[in-house]
Amino acid sequence: MDNIENIIIQCFDPELSPKKKNELDNILNEFLSDNKSYQKVEFLLKTTMNDNVRFYCLNIYEDYITTRWHYLEVDEKLEIRNFLYNYLKDNNSTQSRLITNKGIKIIVNIAKRDWPSDWPELIPDLLKLNNSFDELKFSFSVIKTISEEFTSSREDINASRKIELKQLFIENVPLIIHRMMEYLNSIYKDVFIMNKGSPLNTNGTFEPNSFMLSPGTSNVNSELNKLPIVGISPTTFNPENNLFNFPSPVESNMDNPNMDIQRKEICILILENLNQFFTYIPFSKEYINTNYLNIILKYAQLYQDDMVDLGILAMSCINEIFSKNYVPIQFISIILDVASHTFNILKNLSVLKNIDNTYIKKFTEHLGLFITQHLKRAETYKDFPINDFLVLFLNYTNAQPDIFSFHRCLTLWLSLLEYFTDHVKDNENEKMKIECYQSVILQFMEQLFLKARFSSDEYYLKAYNDKSEDIEYQTELDHFDNDCADIVLKLSELYPEAVLQKLLGLFFNDFQHLQSETTFNAVKNYARDMKLTLQCFGQIAYLFTTEFENNFNSTFQLIQQFMNALSCCMENEIYTKGNAFVKLCVQLYNTIRLQVHWIVKWHTLSQNNEKSMKEFMQFLDGIVNLCILGFNEKCSDILMSASASLLNSITSTVRPSKLLVEPSIQGYLSVINNQSLKWSIPIKQQIYGAFVNIFTLPGLNQTPTEDEWIERTKALSQFIEQFGEVYNNLISHENFVSSMSYTKDESRLLIIHTLTIFSGILKSVQKETSNSKTTVFEALKKYLPATFNLLQPYINDGEILLSIFDFLLNLFDSLQKQIGLPVISKTVNMFFNILNENQITSIMFGDKNDADALIKFIQLLTVLAEDTSKTIYPILPDIISYSINVIFKKCFATETPNLEIIQYSYYELIEKILINQWRYFFPNSIIKSMINKNTDIEQDHRNEFIDFLNILLYSFKGKDINCIKKNITTLNLSNEKCNLFSQEVFRDSLMVNYLDVLFEILLNKSLDFLRDDIIQIVYLIISNNFEIYTTSYIQHLLSEKCRNFSENQLNIINNYLNNIKDVQSCTENIYILVNDYYYFSRINCHK
C-alpha cells in the first residue's frame, strides 16, 4: 500500500513525463481491476496525510457505489457505509473542504440506494449529532447535500427511485426544519438578547447548558413570547396603534453583537438548508408557520458588516417563500408580518452606501416580490398603510448607493405604477385612493428626473456605458432612459397635468441652457437631458389627441417648439459634435413623428376649409424641410434614417394630396439622384420609398379617378427616368457585354445604385392596393427585360448578384400579379438554367456576398411558394425539383461556412412549400389537371414528399439549433394542415426513421433544451400510428437501443413505452425512460 500511495502522489506531479505517467496509470488500472480494491484503500484513507491520495481513494469508493453497488453483498455494503460515515464524522474538522464535500457526496450516493429500507436510522442519527461543533456542522452539511441530491434531476438512479426518494425526504423535512429553527432561535437569543459569549470549550466541545439543544428536547421556546413583538395578526390588531411603529428586534445588542465563528457557520448552514427546502416543499403549516418566519425575519435584518452573510441568506429564504404564486388565505398574517418587518428594515436602512451590495440587491428583490405578488393581498387588509410604504420606499430608492441600484428600484416603481393604473380604470374608489398618493408619487417623479439627468447627476450616470451597443443598438444608458420614459408614461396615466407641466418646464430649461452654456461638457449634458425629456414627450403623445380642439393651440405651439429646436440643431450642425448630439437630433425627429396622429387629425378637419388647409400645408412644409435637412452627407445613417422615417410618416399616413406640388418637394426631387449616390443601401431605399409614396398613395380620405392614376403613373415614370434612363441605356447597349463595359467600376456602381432604388420603390408598395402597385409596375416595366439579362454576365460577381436578386425578390414579392405567371415562369426557368449545379457549388465556396445572393434567390422562390391561389401550380414542379436536386444536393454536400448562412432560408422554403402547397402532394382531380396540363403523363409526387420530409429529418442530425426549431414548427404546422403523421406515405416510408432519429436525440440528450418540443412530435407520430407503434416499433427500438440490457431492465423500458396514452403520459414516461436508459447503460458497462 505504501507503493500505491507513492504512485498516486507521483501521478499528481505536474512535472511527470508522459511516458512515466502512462506507466503509473497502468499500475493503478491494474490495482483498480481488483473487485476488492475498495478494501485495500480503506487503510490508505485512514493513514495518508496527502489530500491527493485521499481524493483518489474516495474516487474508488465513488466508482463502486455508482456502478457496482447493486452487485455487492449486504455485508460489504454495510462495511463500506459504516466506515465512510464514521470516518467523515470523526475527521471532518481536520480534512480539507474538498475531501469533506467529496466524502459527504459519497455518503449521500449510498443513501440514494439504501435509505430508508436498508438505512432507516440515517436522518435520526444525523439529528442526534450535537455534541460538538464539528458534529453539528457535519450533520447539517450531510442534510444539505441530501436535500440537493434527492431533489435533483441527475440520472444516477432510476426514475421511480428518484420520485420515491424526494417524497420520503419531504416527509422528514418538517422534523428537520423544526430542529433547525430551534437552533436559529436559541443562537439569536443568546447573541442578541442574552449577549452570551461562545458556548465552546477550548477543546471544541460545548459547554454544559450551551445553546445547543439535545435531540430529545421538544420545542422549548418559552423565551420566545418575551421577545419584542414582530409583526401583527389581523385578529389582534388594534387600529388605535401605529401599525408599523415597533422597536427593531435587533436593537438591544446590535451595536455590540458577540457571535463567534462557529455559531455563525452553523447559522449559515441552517439558512442554506432552509433556502433549499423552500424551493420544493409544500407551504402547509407543518413546513412553515408564523413563528418560523419570524425567526428568519430576525436574521434578515442583520445587515451589519460582520453579520451580513446571515442577512443575505435569510433574505433569500424570505424571497423564496414570496416568489411562490400561491399563498393560502390563512397566510395573510404571514404577509402582514413580513410587511411589518419590511417597513422596519426600510426605516433602518437610511445609509445604504455602508451596506453590502448583495444585501441591497436581495432586499430590493424582496420589495419587488412584495409589490408584484403580494401587495394586492396585503391591501385587502383595510388598514394596510400603503401611503407609509410609498414614503419609505421613496426614501429607500433615493438612498441607493449607485445608479445601478437605483435602476433596480425603478423596475419596482414601474410595477407599482402599473398596479395603480390597472386599479384606477372605471373605479371611483381607486381614483380617490390615487389622489391620496399623489404627493409622494409626484415627489418620486421629481427625484426620478434629478437622478436621470446629467445636469444634476452626471457623476453617477457616467457609470453607464454609453458607447457599446447591444443587438438592438442600445447602450446601457439608452436602456436606462427607456425605463425612465416608461415610468413617465405610467405617471401620465395617473396625473397627466402634473407630468405635462413638469416636462414642459424641463424642455424649455434644457433648450435655453443648450443655447446659453459656454463649456462643451455642460452643453453635452443638457443635450443628453433634452433627449430624455423628448423621449418622455414621445411616450405621452396620446395626451395631445384627446380633446383635440380644446388643446389645439397649446399642442400646435409645443410641436412648433420641437421644430424650432430641431431646426436650430440641424442648421448649426451640432450632430457633428459627437454621439450625444446625434442622439438628440434623432430624438427630435422621433418626437415630432410620434405626433403624426395629431397631424392627421388636423389634416382631416382642414380638408373642407381652404384657410385652414393653407395653414396646415405651411406647417407641413416646415416639417418636410426639416426632413430634407437630414439628408445631408454630414449626417450619420442613424440620423438620416430618423429624418426619413418622419418623411415616410408624412407621405404614408398624413398623405396630403397637394404635397407633390410643394416647392420643397419639387426642388429636392430634382437633385436627389446626385445626392443619393453616396448613401448606404438601407438609407437609399428608405428615402426613395418615402418620396415614392407621394406618387403611389392617394390623398387622405380621397379616391383618385382612373385619369388621376394615369397622371400619377406618368409623374412617377418621369421621376424614375432621371436615373433610370442612364441605367437602361447602359445595360441595353448591344456591346455592353462584348465590350467588357460591364466590368468597369462606374458601370457596376451605376447598376447597384439603380437596382437599390428600384428595390426601395418596390418595398414601398408591397402592402398597398392594386392601383398603387400597377402605378409602380407601369413605371418600371420597360427596365425589366434588360435587368433580367444581367444575371448571366454577373453570375460570378457576388456584389452585383446580390443587388439583382434583391431587386427580383422585391419585384416578385410586390408585383407578382402585375407581372403575370408567363413572365415569372420564363424568368425563373432562365435562372434555374444559369444557376446550375456547377454554379451553386461555386457559390458555396465563394464569399459572403455569394451566399447572400443565393439566399435572396431562395427567398424569391419562397415568395412564389407562398402563393396559395393555385396559379403557381404550373411552375411548382420545377421549383420543387430545383430545391431538392440542385440546392440540397449541392449546398449540403459539403460543410462550408456558406452552408451555415443559407440553410435557414432553405428550410424556410421547404416549410412554405409543405404548408401552402400541400395539396400538390395530395391532389384532387382538379388540382391534378392543373399540375399535369403540360404533359400527358399523370405524375406521382410521393417521392418528392418523402425527399422533403427526409431533408427536414436531416436537420435534426446537425448543429444549427435555429434550423431544428424551425423544422419542429414546420412538422407541427404540416400535421395541422394535412394530417401529416396519419398519411399513408408517412406511415409506410418515414415513421420508423423519424422515431429512430428522435429517440436517438432524446436518449443521448443531445438537444435537451428542445426535449419537450421533440417529445410533442414523437407523441403526434405515435398517436396517429398507435397500432404499428405498439405491435412492432417498440420491439424494434428495444432491439436497436437496449442490446446489453437485462430482462428486468428491458421490461422497465418496455413498460414506459407502452404506458404512452396521451400527451401528458408521453412526456412523463419519456422523461423517466431517458433517466433509466442512461442509468442502466452506465451500470451495465461494469458487469
Grade residue 197 by pLDDT with cuts at 50, 70 and 90: low
Grade residue 426 by pLDDT with cuts at 50, 70 and 90: low
- Range with the poorest average pLDDT among 339-353, 656-670, 1024-1038: 339-353
Contact 797, 745 (CB under 8 A): no
How much is the pLDDT for 507?
A: 98
Total residues found in the chain within this entry: 1087
Q: Is the pLDDT of residue 323 over 90?
A: no
Grade residue 329 by pLDDT with cuts at 50, 70 and 90: low
Between 342 and 970, residue with greater pLDDT: 970
In terms of Cβ atoms closer than 10 Å to its own Cβ (0-12, 13-18, 19+), residue 288 is buried
Nearest-Å Rg of the Cα atoms of the chain is 38
Q: What is the pLDDT of residues 607-624, one digit of tens each?
A: 999 999 999 999 999 999
- State how far the Cα of 173 lies from the Cα of 151, in Å rounded to an integer: 12
Residues with Cβ within 8 Å of 976's Cβ and at least 6 positions away in sequence, in order, are none
Q: Is the pLDDT of residue 124 over 60?
A: yes
Contact 266, 210 (CB under 8 A): no
Q: In a 3-state reduction of DSSP, which class is residue 205?
A: strand
How much is the pLDDT for 326?
A: 60
Across residues 946-963, what is the average pLDDT?
94
- State how far the Cα of 1051 lies from the Cα of 235, in Å rounded to an integer: 58
How much is the pLDDT for 283?
A: 80
Q: In a 3-state reduction of DSSP, which class is residue 747?
A: helix
Measured at the alpha carbon of residue 318, what is the angle toward residues 316 and 319, in degrees to the nearest 5?
A: 60
Grade residue 188 by pLDDT with cuts at 50, 70 and 90: very high
Across residues 267-275, what is the average pLDDT?
98
Least Cα distance to 615 among 602, 625, 598, 627 occurs for: 602
Q: What is the dihedral angle through the alpha carbons of 114, 115, 117, 122, rounded to the nearest 10 degrees?
A: 120
How much is the pLDDT for 210?
A: 46
Q: Is the pLDDT of residue 348 over 50?
A: yes
Residues with Cβ within 8 Å of 1034's Cβ and at least 6 positions away in sequence, in order, are 1054, 1057, 1058
Q: Which residue stretches of 733-797 are H helix?
A: 745-764, 770-780, 784-788
Q: Is the pLDDT of residue 378 over 90?
A: no
Query: Could you give the C-alpha distances from 831 to 81, 590, 773, 1020, in angstroms and in order?
Result: 75, 42, 24, 39
Please provide the DSSP assignment of 392-443 as one string. HHHHHHHT-SSHHHHHHHHHHHHHHHHHHHHHHTT-HHHHHHHHHHHHHHHH
Q: What is the pLDDT of residues 772-827, one digit of tens each?
A: 999 999 999 999 999 999 999 999 999 999 999 999 999 999 999 999 999 999 99
Quote the distance between the C-alpha of residue 949 and its chain's center: 30
Across residues 663-686, what is the average pLDDT?
94
Average pLDDT, the chain: 89
Query: Could you give the C-alpha distances from 517 to 509, 526, 527, 565, 920, in angstroms and in order?
Result: 12, 9, 11, 16, 71
Q: Which helix (H) or strand (E) holds 806?
A: helix 798-819
Q: What is the pLDDT of residues 208-257, one digit of tens each?
A: 444 444 333 443 333 323 322 223 233 333 333 334 333 343 444 455 56
Residue 857 is classified by DSSP as H
Across residues 834-838, what is the average pLDDT?
93
How much is the pLDDT for 930?
A: 59
Q: Which amino acid is at 616?
A: F
Across residues 959-981, what is the average pLDDT?
95
- State how far the Cα of 9 lies from the Cα of 5, in Å rounded to an integer: 6
Across residues 31-38, what is the average pLDDT?
74
How much is the pLDDT for 1?
A: 58
Grade residue 906 by pLDDT with cuts at 50, 70 and 90: very high
pLDDT above 90 coverage of the chain, percent: 70
- State how far the Cα of 208 lies from the Cα of 199, in Å rounded to an integer: 8
Contact 284, 325 (CB under 8 A): no
How much is the pLDDT for 331?
A: 64
How much is the pLDDT for 63?
A: 87
How much is the pLDDT for 617?
A: 96
- State how far the Cα of 91 lies from the Cα of 427, in Å rounded to an integer: 68
How much is the pLDDT for 765?
A: 97
The answer to whether the peptide bond before residue 116 is cis (omega within 30 degrees of 0) is yes
How much is the pLDDT for 255?
A: 54
Q: In a 3-state reduction of DSSP, which class is residue 206?
A: strand
How much is the pLDDT for 627?
A: 98
Query: Could you give the C-alpha distances from 760 to 682, 692, 816, 823, in angstroms and in order?
Result: 8, 9, 16, 22
Grade residue 928 by pLDDT with cuts at 50, 70 and 90: low
- Of the chain, the end-to-end C-alpha distance in Å amounts to 27
Between 601 and 236, residue with greater pLDDT: 601
- State how far the Cα of 560 lies from the Cα of 945, in Å rounded to an integer: 62
How much is the pLDDT for 288?
A: 84
Q: What is the pLDDT of residues 277-298, one digit of tens each?
A: 999 998 877 888 888 988 999 9
Which set of grid coordinates corresponds to residue 305? 458588516
Q: Which residue stretches of 453-547 are H helix?
A: 454-461, 476-494, 496-516, 520-539, 542-545
| pTM, rounded to two decimals | 0.85
Q: What is the pLDDT of residues 448-476, one digit of tens each?
A: 999 999 999 999 999 999 999 888 889 99
Least Cα distance to 394 among 438, 355, 425 occurs for: 438
Q: Which residue stretches of 540-609 are H helix?
A: 542-545, 548-571, 579-593, 596-606
How much is the pLDDT for 361?
A: 94
Q: Which amino acid is at 947?
A: D
Least Cα distance to 102 among 161, 154, 52 occurs for: 52
How much is the pLDDT for 545?
A: 83
Grade residue 927 by pLDDT with cuts at 50, 70 and 90: low
Least Cα distance to 830 among 878, 782, 863 occurs for: 878
Helices (H) and strands (E) in the chain, counts: 53, 0
Contact 853, 802 (CB under 8 A): yes
Across residues 866-882, what is the average pLDDT?
89
